[in-house]
Each structure stands twice: as structure tokens, then as C-alpha cells.
Chains A and B, each alone.
Chain A
Amino acid sequence: MKRDYFAARRGKIFLAALFLLLPLPASLVYISHGLITIPFGEVLRILASGFVSAETATTQELVIWLIRLPRVCAGTLVGAGLAITGAAYQGIFRNRLADPYMTGVSAGATLGCTIAILLGFDSSVFGLGGITLFSFCGALVTSLLIFTFIAASRRVSHTAILLTGISINLFLSGLVSLLMFLNRDKIETIVLWTMGSLSGLNWQKILFALPLLCAGLTGLFFCARPLDYLVLGSDIARVHGIAVKRSTFLIILFSSLVTSVCVSLSGIVGFVGLLIPNIVRLLFGSRSGLVFAFSCGLGALFLQLADFLARTLLSPAELPLGILTSIIGVPFFIFLVLKKTEQSA
């Protein structure tokens, strides 16, 4: 039996390595293609010669350093972030259909973005952009609501958290709709943001996001083992020495941080957090540490691809990212659901 166990694992190691290592070479492909195709060698040379600062920089250098590289970086970060938080929430709520936006974060971010647009705060604050900042704050503040709820409740009931998240989502969405109705000229701007896009990026935003994301991801990885027990139920978790309330709180805290950062970079991109962890679980089982690691890899790959398609399919027009992830995601999702129902039947 021991031999069986390891053998099966070995079969998957190739796939695992693929998920974790592919994003890097894939980035190279995505950076070199677009409106203008820049050959790989040139790309590598430009990357190696450092950040473009001279006044006289070629178009290629500008495009690579200022447009494509930030985009691909952001795609990697956001993809990884959304996938891992999806995995975390699916574990915490013991529900395969959980996604990172379940606790109302997406509606909070949209509200922040709406307020930014209505107040006209699109101008740069430290080069970040009002929408980025406000959506980040909106997402975080909304998470605080869930935190206080968890902190205040004696026993952590997953159903209660879920329902609270859904209610917050609905309430804030209603607010956003109201604001849109009162400012109909801005509806399009707001709606386009919610569809998700990586087009308005620059390095300041990425540098703002990077430390926060790293902190959140590290925190989540430390919560992987407690999550394994939490998945079994709070009773068993407690017996295994897991501080249930604190662990749940920490996981939701880190997940909210990561989701808020991702959403402020890219808008609301759906299906990544829902699908990727399920696929990873199908392939590698449900141990949280593994699921987290491979979700990051596969999520990054997925979003890189989606962003690339978004900016090249109808070039120079850009498809919103959310549409693309949904289009790629829906068939997969249906396949998963069918597989699941056939399993439990």
C-alpha cells in the first residue's frame, strides 16, 4: 500500500511541476506578443538592460517595460491571489461553490470604485489612481464587517458567515445600483470596471500591491494546516488543538486582504477563484497545503492566458477580463458539476 501511495503521487508530480513552473516561460510568450510582435531575444535583451529610464527609449522598450510587463505581472499576481482565496473559502465554508467574493468583498470594491468615479477622484494619488485606492478600501472595509461579526459571535457558524456575506453583497450591490441610477452618465464607467480589466496598470500600482499580496499569501500558507482540520469540522479541529475561531478569523483576514488587492488591480474577475481550486482538488486531492500551492500556479497561468486573449482577440479593442474568464470557465465548470453529480449519484 505504501508503494501504491507514492506511485500515484509520482504520476502527478510532472503535472504539479508544470503548474508551478509554467507561469515564467509563459510570461515571456505573452510579453513578446501583442499589437507588435517582439522576438524573444529582443525581449530578453530589453529586460536584462534594466528599467527604461532614458528619455530616448524605443517604442519596443516602452511597450515592454511600461505596458506589457506590468500587465503580465499583474495577471500572475491576481490569478494566483484569486485562486488561493477561492481555495481558502471553499475549505472554510466546506462548499465547493465558494469563491473569493463570497463575503461581500466584490460589492464593497464596486461601491468604492463607484464613489471614486462619482467624486471625480480619478486623478492620481501617488500615481495609484483613485479607483484603485477606493476599491481597495471599499473591499477592506466590507471585510471588516465580516470580521466584527465573527468576533462577536460565540460560536463560528459557517452558515451564518455565508448568509452575512451574501446579505452584505446584496445590500451593497443595491447601493451601487442606486448610485448608478442617480448618475446614469457614469453607469458605463462603473459597469466596465466591474467586468474586470488589466489595462490601466502601472508600476506604482503593482508595487503597492506586491507587499500586501505577499503578506496575505504567506499568511494563508501558514493557515493551510489548520484549514485541513477546520474542513473536518470545528469539533475535530478543536481536538487537534486548532483555535477554531482564531484560525477562521485569520484565514478570512488574509483572504480578504489578498482579494481586496486583486480586485483593486483588476476589477471583478470571476470564475478564477471558483474553478481553479476545484480543478486542483480533482487532480491532487484536498490537502490544503497542496491545494494552495497548485492553485496559485494554475490560477496565474489561467489569468495570464485570459488577459493575453483579452488584449489580442479583438485587437486593438480589449475584451473585459471577466467575460473571458467566464467564457473559458463556464464549460469547465459545467464539466465539473456533471462529474460531481455523477459521483454522488
Chain B
Amino acid sequence: MNLFLDLHDISFAYDKKKPALTSISLRVPARLPRDENSDENTNETIDENSGTNNDEGSGIFVSIIGPNGSGKTTLLKILAGILPPATGTALLLETPVTRIPDPSKILAYVPQTLSLGFSLSVLDFILLGIPTEKSLTGKVTGQTARKAQEALKLLHIEDYARRDILKLSGGEKQKIILTKALAQETPALLLDEPITHLDLAGQIEILDLLKKLTKKNKKIIAIMHDINLAARYSDYTIMLKNGTLFAAGKTQHIITEQSIQQCFSVPVKRAGDFFIPIKTQ
């Protein structure tokens, strides 16, 4: 499989007056090739823990950034098969998103938050993510319990298992939503602002984890609000502005002072690994 995402002329509108996405076409490779001889800046943005993961080239971390209302969530939902595109075709892992019968086998979708009417234990919630054949009676096999436990261990939250979803804080909820997605063990992971409610340590922990997962052949696409973190962790970036594609490509090429200024209308200057807004006197 060569392409993670292949979009051609995707448009969508929630209501007739204001289209949310207009004519998006892009291609994202399924893995970043080891040798990129056309690039001068190699792996400046890679965290030291990840080491030389891109050299292995098994997965890819794509970030979607853009100002509010630029259509990021819409794009992600189209990729997840939740919204049908009005025009164009979208291929995820070389399957058209509209024709995937059971998307949960290919992709795991992590929404920003969940609203649940009544209590569900965290464990039950995660188990929902693990497809079991005879789940009518709620019989939990040893296999599924193991998967759930592993997922919880990934995020170091084994002690959450008995807790009630309704009583979790925003950050804790985000963690368990992610855990459920991970328990699904799908090749693709689609995340909508997965770290917004977390504290700094939590953010770094999750991003490190995601990066580590790309080593294991996971294709990740995440909407990020923090440009710096996106620049640091992602391999590929899609920048949206006003529902149109502003830029897409390898992160180090895409996220630049000029692009940020044009896309976000905020002048920034680069300081080492970071982009810092320029103070206007």
C-alpha cells in the first residue's frame, strides 16, 4: 500500500450558503521513505526518543492544522466515513471511504469528547471498541480482556478500569477515548484534537506514544491546534484555510514562518524549533 490518503476534488457543505470544504485534492504517502534526497533539512523536528523511526518508514504521522472554521473537523469526518463528500472521491488506505462496510476494522476515530446519557464503566467502554462476535450476552473472552488491558497499559491508566465515564474529567475522558481507539488495533487512527484538554505532561506523553505507534506501522492523522507541537511531531502536514487546501506536504517544508503568517494571519518568527508570534507594538 503506497498511499495513506488520496483525495480528489473533495467538497462538502453543511448548508447551501456556506460550503465547509471546497475542492480539496491531496495525496499522503503511507510511509515516509527513508531517503529523501530532495530535502535539505532532515528530521529536525523529530523527538529524540523516536530515534530514527523515519528510517524504518513503516507508518506516518499526519497533522491537520488551520485556523478555526477552516474545515479541519469536516475533513477528518469525511475521511472517517462519517460525512459523505458532496463531490469528489476520497481513498483511505486505498479504499473509498464511502464504501467501507465496517470502518472500525480499518480506522479508529477519536472525537474531541463524548456525551453519554448514563454511566458506563471505562472497561465496558473500551470493550465496545473491540469487536467481539458474541457480545450480545456481554460475554467477555480472555482475548478481549487482554486487548483492553494492553490498551490501558499503553496510556498508563490501568487504574481507570472500574471508574465511571460520567465522573471523568475532560483530560481523563480524552485519554480513555484514545484508549478505546487503540484497543481496536486498526491500521489507521483518526484523531480530532486529541490533546486539547491535557496538561503539558499529558500532551507530551500522548504525542510520544503516537509517534512510537507510527514505528509499528500505524498511520495517524490528527487535528492539532498547537502549531509547534505539530511541527515537532508530525511527518506530514495539511494546512487548511477557509475550507480550501492551503498547503500539504512534509512538515518541515510546510510549516514555515511565511506559511503561518499567510494562513493564520499572525506574524511569527522562528526561534530554534519554535515559532513565536511577533509582538505588535
Instruction: Tell whether any CB of A sits under 8 Å from a CB of B in the complex.
Output: yes
Closest to A291 in B: B138
CB of B145 within 8 A of chain A? yes
CB of A197 within 8 A of chain B? no
A window 328-345: CB within 8 A of B: 343-344
B115 contacts A240, C-beta separation under 8 Å: no
A6: chain B residues within 8 A (beta carbon): 140
Interface residues as binary, A202-240 with B (CB distance below 8 Å gives 1, 0 otherwise): 000000000000000000010011001101110110111
A239 contacts B109, C-beta separation under 8 Å: yes
Most buried by B among A93, A228, A344: A228
B146 contacts A2, C-beta separation under 8 Å: yes
A232 contacts B116, C-beta separation under 8 Å: yes
B142 contacts A228, C-beta separation under 8 Å: no
Interface residues as binary, B154-169 with A (CB distance below 8 Å gives 1, 0 otherwise): 0000100110101100
Q: How far is it, in angstroms, between the C-alpha of A94 and the C-alpha of B117 when the chains are bound?
A: 4
- The smallest C-beta distance from B154 to any residue of chain A, in angstroms, reads 14
A344: chain B residues within 8 A (beta carbon): 166-167
Known contacts: A95-B117, A286-B118, A289-B137. The answer to whether A343 contacts B167 by CB under 8 A is yes
A window 108-152: CB within 8 A of B: none
CB of B111 within 8 A of chain A? yes
CB of A290 within 8 A of chain B? yes
A238: chain B residues within 8 A (beta carbon): 80-82, 103
B interface bracket (residues with beta carbon within 8 Å of A): 35 or more
A240 contacts B118, C-beta separation under 8 Å: no
A240: chain B residues within 8 A (beta carbon): 102-104
Q: A241 is contacted by which of B102, B118, B140, B146 (Cβ under 8 Å)?
A: B102
CB of A281 within 8 A of chain B? yes
Known contacts: A2-B142, A235-B109. The answer to whether A286 contacts B120 by CB under 8 A is yes
B138 contacts A289, C-beta separation under 8 Å: yes
Closest to A98 in B: B117
A225 contacts B136, C-beta separation under 8 Å: yes
B window 118-134: CB within 8 A of A: 118-121, 123-124, 128
Q: How far is it, in angstroms, between the C-alpha of A290 and the C-alpha of B121 when the chains are bound?
A: 14
Known contacts: A1-B161, A238-B81, A239-B104. The answer to whether A221 contacts B136 by CB under 8 A is yes
B117 contacts A236, C-beta separation under 8 Å: no
B135: chain A residues within 8 A (beta carbon): 225, 228, 287, 289
Closest to A221 in B: B136
B124 contacts A231, C-beta separation under 8 Å: no
Q: How far is it, in angstroms, between the C-alpha of A124 and the C-alpha of B117 when the chains are bound?
A: 44
Q: How far is it, in angstroms, between the C-alpha of A235 and the C-alpha of B167 when the chains are bound?
A: 22
Interface residues as binary, B73-96 with A (CB distance below 8 Å gives 1, 0 otherwise): 000010011100000000000000
B138 contacts A290, C-beta separation under 8 Å: yes
- The smallest C-beta distance from B131 to any residue of chain A, in angstroms, reads 8
CB of A325 within 8 A of chain B? no
A285 contacts B142, C-beta separation under 8 Å: no
A343 contacts B166, C-beta separation under 8 Å: yes
Q: How far is it, in angstroms, between the C-alpha of A30 and the C-alpha of B128 when the chains are bound?
A: 41
B272: chain A residues within 8 A (beta carbon): none
A5: chain B residues within 8 A (beta carbon): 123, 140, 145, 161
- The smallest C-beta distance from A276 to any residue of chain B, in angstroms, reads 14
CB of B149 within 8 A of chain A? yes
B166 contacts A290, C-beta separation under 8 Å: no
- The smallest C-beta distance from A227 to any residue of chain B, in angstroms, reads 11
Closest to B137 in A: A289
- The smallest C-beta distance from B222 to any residue of chain A, in angstroms, reads 15
Q: How far is it, in angstroms, between the C-alpha of A140 and the C-alpha of B118 when the chains are bound?
A: 29
B210: chain A residues within 8 A (beta carbon): none
B82 contacts A239, C-beta separation under 8 Å: yes
CB of A96 within 8 A of chain B? yes
B-side residues, CB < 8 A to A, are: 77, 80-82, 100-104, 107-109, 111, 114-121, 123-124, 128, 135-138, 140, 142, 145-146, 149, 158, 161-162, 164, 166-167
List 22 A-B residue pairs with CB atoms under 8 Å apart, sorted by A's residue number: A1-B145, A2-B142, A4-B161, A5-B145, A93-B117, A96-B117, A231-B117, A232-B116, A232-B128, A233-B111, A233-B114, A235-B109, A235-B111, A239-B109, A241-B100, A241-B103, A285-B124, A287-B124, A287-B138, A289-B135, A343-B166, A343-B167
Further pairs besides A95-B117, A240-B102, A241-B104: 7, Cβ < 8 Å: A96-B117, A233-B114, A239-B80, A241-B100, A285-B124, A286-B119, A287-B124
A-side residues, CB < 8 A to B, are: 1-2, 4-6, 9, 90-91, 93-96, 221, 224-225, 228-229, 231-233, 235-236, 238-241, 281, 285-287, 289-290, 293, 343-344
